[in-house]
Amino acid sequence: MSDLFSITEPDEPTAAPAPEYTEEDIESLDWREHIRLRPGMYIGKLGNGDDADDGIYVLLKEVMDNSLDEFIMGHGHQIDVTVDTDIVGGNVTVRDYGRGIPLGSVVDVASKINTGGKYREGAFAKTVGLNGVGIKAVNALSSAMEIISYRGGRSRRALFSEGILVEDDDIKDTDAPDGTLVRFTPDASLFKGYRFLDDHILPLIKNYTYLHTGLAIVLNGVRHISRNGLKDLLAQRMSSKPLYDIIHLKGKDIEMALTHTDQYGEEFYSFVNGQYTPQGGTHQSAFKEAVSRTIKEYFGRNFEFSDIRNGMVGAVSISVSNPVFDSQTKTKLNSRDMGDDGPSIAKYIGDFVKKELDNYLHRDLPLADVMLQKIQKSERDRREVAGVAKKARETAKKVSLYNRKLNDCRVHLNDTRGNEEKKLASSIFIVEGDSAGGSIEKARDVETQAVFKLRGKPLNSYGASKKELYTNEEFSLLQAALNIEDSIDGLRYNNVIIATDADVDGMHIRLLMLTFFLQYFPDLIKKGHVYVLQTPLFRVRNGKTMRRGKGKAPADDTVYCYNDEERVAAIHRFGDHAEITRFKGLGEISHDEFRAFIGPEMRVDRVSLRKDDGVDEVLEFYMGKNTMERQNFIIDNLVIEDDREIDRG
């Protein structure tokens, strides 16, 4: 183990002896019982809808994919989607205008595992849903799921609850156009307190339109359609201005788009058969390799691939027969070839990029010149910091040996021997000082949670060069701990959590850390890795039961409050017996209490980055050298109320 890392074991109870293992422990589960017992195998994590990868969005995608497969096969150019958003316990309706499910198979398709029409390439080809599992997972994990097929002037309806058929209507005549309607309500006993959020639903819907030009998706009455495919996607996703017009190329079973920006790092999006693969896979790796090699050969320079891709934003979409994914959630492509005895994915993408991108650069020489200038600048910057970076790495190991900045966890994302679920759960808390770090270190789960302790306020990195970052001890050590010095592909923790006090100094440190990530590692934010930890501001206890319990209140009589509204509600609950503690900092919270705040019920806010956020302008105003402008802004936005100054800005 590197000198940079150490593990501090938390206080843990002695393990109980293992129970007996007999024939009575052997069980056979039917399909719905297995899905409900092991939902993670089918939809990843459950969640409550706060994160884009929570299970309720996977359920929506499974239903949408079936409708999209109809469009891919040339049937139905509109899908109507209705989602109850921003309320607890909403439901979803998806209505397509494809061929409709054969009426005699409506119940079987929804409730018999490994039953569907996509096992042989006849009715469907180059689709995403190939296993006959998706709609069954939706069925089993929903408190109610209704499915109606309209086909040839006739229809059939079935209603299920937790995968059990409760209504099966006779076939009826209908005037409705052909297609399928699916309406489902996720099971609130599994997805506790769930809400569908617009911030996650809208990008999902837009992705589908970018990948299926000409397809109209009507979401809650608003029509979304794309005419330029991946070019539209990049234009919408980029948070920095492109240095040149987006290069957009299309061929049989492949589409690509790319440009450069002034941001650090690289940013790629990949898709297969209309399915977004956030963890990439064989197609994304082949695309990055092919683009780098083609550009290097075009300029005839011995550029390093990292310099070519620095600041690059790109997207690739391919169509593959019988795609193989790493799991049912389809987040990473494992296929090696295009299917149908076709070429390998690497060769197919490589040949296309070599021909089409090379031709494009020869046709647009001014664009190629801008690209060359960007690559040369990246090369100069890298060479300037190369020696400093090497020295910083050596220093990082020596400094950390004594300071123990990082207390590591046992599971890392780049360790293929570990458990996949634990890798996804792996987190690092960035905390201020030894006091706060000590509480979290004693309370954390050493399997999946690491702690990195800052010393004082970090550098304001806005406008700083890469060289300055490597010569800054705090940021140099942090980059080494995260393993992102060269690329975020090596990120050791799925979740990077900023955990600071809820006071002025803590907020300042939080802003400095966010500035660092926004400036130099924006892809960490765009891919949803960066969070801010919420910790309680108040503890309200029932003083009456505390006195009975000699200073210790039962768990039901202790409420941790994250805002004033929760504090008022807790005081109202306990009345005159309420005893209130105001936490001034994380170091004041005991490690026994902290276990609840960083456990399964941990509250975090995911940091997001969108084109409309105007990040460059915001950072320049709040973190730039315009001190007087900020001071005047604060003065102009002060309001005197009840003899108190309140910052309205």
Q: What is the pLDDT of residues 194-233, one digit of tens each?
A: 999 998 999 899 999 999 988 999 999 999 999 999 999 9
Token pair recorded at residue 574? 């306990």
Q: Quick check: 374 and 240 in contact, CB under 8 A?
A: no
- Please tell me the least confidently modeled range out of 26-35, 74-83, 298-307, 547-556: 547-556
Token pair recorded at residue 627? 């001190």
User: What value does the mean pLDDT take over residues 265-278?
Assistant: 88
Strand partners, 149: 156, 180
pLDDT of 67 higher than 70:
yes
DSSP-derived secondary structure letter, 577: G
- Using alpha carbons, select from 514, 546, 552 the residue that is nearest to residue 531: 514
User: What value does the mean pLDDT take over residues 552-557?
Assistant: 64
Could you tell me whether strands 604-606 and 644-647 are parallel, antiparallel, or unpaired per DSSP bridges? unpaired
* pLDDT of the residue at 551: 57
User: What value does the mean pLDDT take over residues 143-159?
Assistant: 95
Q: Quick check: 335 and 345 in contact, CB under 8 A?
A: yes
Q: Quick check: 66 and 129 in contact, CB under 8 A?
A: yes
- Please tell me the least confidently modeled range out of 62-71, 162-171, 410-419, 538-547: 410-419
| Residue 122 one-letter amino acid | G
- Using alpha carbons, select from 440, 484, 508, 461 the residue that is nearest to residue 624: 461
* pLDDT of the residue at 419: 56
Q: In which band, very low, low, confident or very high, does the pLDDT at 416 lie, cut at 50, 70 and 90? A: very low
Q: Show the 3-state SS of 334-386.
A: CCCECCCCCCEHHHHHHHHHHHHHHHHHHHCHHHHHHHHHHHHHHHHHHHHHH
Token pair recorded at residue 516? 């660092």
pLDDT of 256 higher than 90:
yes
- Please tell me the least confidently modeled range out of 181-190, 256-265, 271-280: 271-280
Q: In which band, very low, low, confident or very high, does the pLDDT at 649 lie, cut at 50, 70 and 90? A: very low
Q: Is the full-model pTM beyond 0.85?
A: no
Token pair recorded at residue 225? 């359609």
Token pair recorded at residue 408? 């590591």
* pLDDT of the residue at 310: 92
Q: Distance from first CA to last CA of the chain, Å, rounded?
A: 48
Q: Cα separation of 497 and 524, whole Å?
A: 12
Q: What is the pLDDT of residues 508-541, one digit of tens each?
A: 899 999 989 988 888 888 888 999 998 888 889 8
Phi and psi dihedrals of 404, rounded to 5?
50, 55
* pLDDT of the residue at 439: 81
- Please tell me the least confidently modeled range out of 140-154, 417-431, 563-577: 417-431
CA distances from 322 to 70, 254, 471, 600 (A): 16, 16, 50, 37
Sequence-separated contacts (24+) of 154-159 with Cβ below 8 Å: 154/103, 155/103, 156/103, 156/106, 157/106, 158/106, 158/107, 158/110
* pLDDT of the residue at 504: 80
- Using alpha carbons, select from 442, 397, 437 the residue that is nearest to residue 8: 442
Q: Cα separation of 148 and 68, whole Å?
A: 17
User: What value does the mean pLDDT take over residues 587-616?
Assistant: 78
In our burial notation (b when 16+ CB lie closer than 10 A, e otherwise), range 319-329 reads: bbbbbebeebb
pLDDT of 645 higher than 50:
no
Token pair recorded at residue 624? 């730039």
Which SS3 state, helix, strand or coil, does residue 639 take? strand
* pLDDT of the residue at 11: 62
In this predicted model, which residue has the larger pLDDT, 117 or 525?
A: 525
Residue 55, judged by CB atoms within 10 A of its CB (0-12, 13-18, 19+), counts as buried
Q: In which band, very low, low, confident or very high, does the pLDDT at 145 lie, cut at 50, 70 and 90? A: very high
- Please tell me the least confidently modeled range out of 250-264, 309-323, 401-415, 595-609: 401-415
Mean pLDDT, all residues of the chain: 83
User: What domains can you pick out in the chain, each with its CATH number?
Assistant: 32-224 (3.30.565.10), 230-379 (3.30.230.10), 384-534+604-638 (3.40.50.670), 538-582 (no CATH)
User: What value does the mean pLDDT take over residues 427-444?
Assistant: 84
Could you tell me whether strands 222-224 and 578-582 are parallel, antiparallel, or unpaired per DSSP bridges? unpaired
Could you tell me whether strands 179-186 and 92-96 are parallel, antiparallel, or unpaired per DSSP bridges? antiparallel
The total of other beta-carbon atoms located within 10 Å of residue 271's CB is 24
Q: Which DSSP string corresponds to 500-568?
A: --SSHHHHHHHHHHHHHHHHH-HHHHHTT-EEEE---SEEEEEHHHHHHTTS---GGGEEEESSHHHHH
* pLDDT of the residue at 435: 72
User: What value does the mean pLDDT take over residues 128-148?
Assistant: 82
User: What value does the mean pLDDT take over residues 116-123?
Assistant: 48
The total of other beta-carbon atoms located within 10 Å of residue 142's CB is 25
- Using alpha carbons, select from 591, 438, 406 the residue that is nearest to residue 12: 591
* pLDDT of the residue at 476: 83
- Please tell me the least confidently modeled range out of 126-135, 309-318, 485-494: 126-135
Token pair recorded at residue 263? 């941001």
Q: Cα separation of 163 and 20, whole Å?
A: 33
Q: Quick check: 145 and 138 in contact, CB under 8 A?
A: yes
Q: Cα separation of 168 and 145, whole Å?
A: 12
Phi and psi dihedrals of 68, rounded to 5?
-70, -35
| Residue 407 one-letter amino acid | N
pLDDT of 234 higher than 60:
yes
In this predicted model, which residue has the larger pLDDT, 420 or 478?
A: 478
Q: Cα separation of 518 and 169, whole Å?
A: 55
User: What value does the mean pLDDT take over residues 286-302?
Assistant: 96
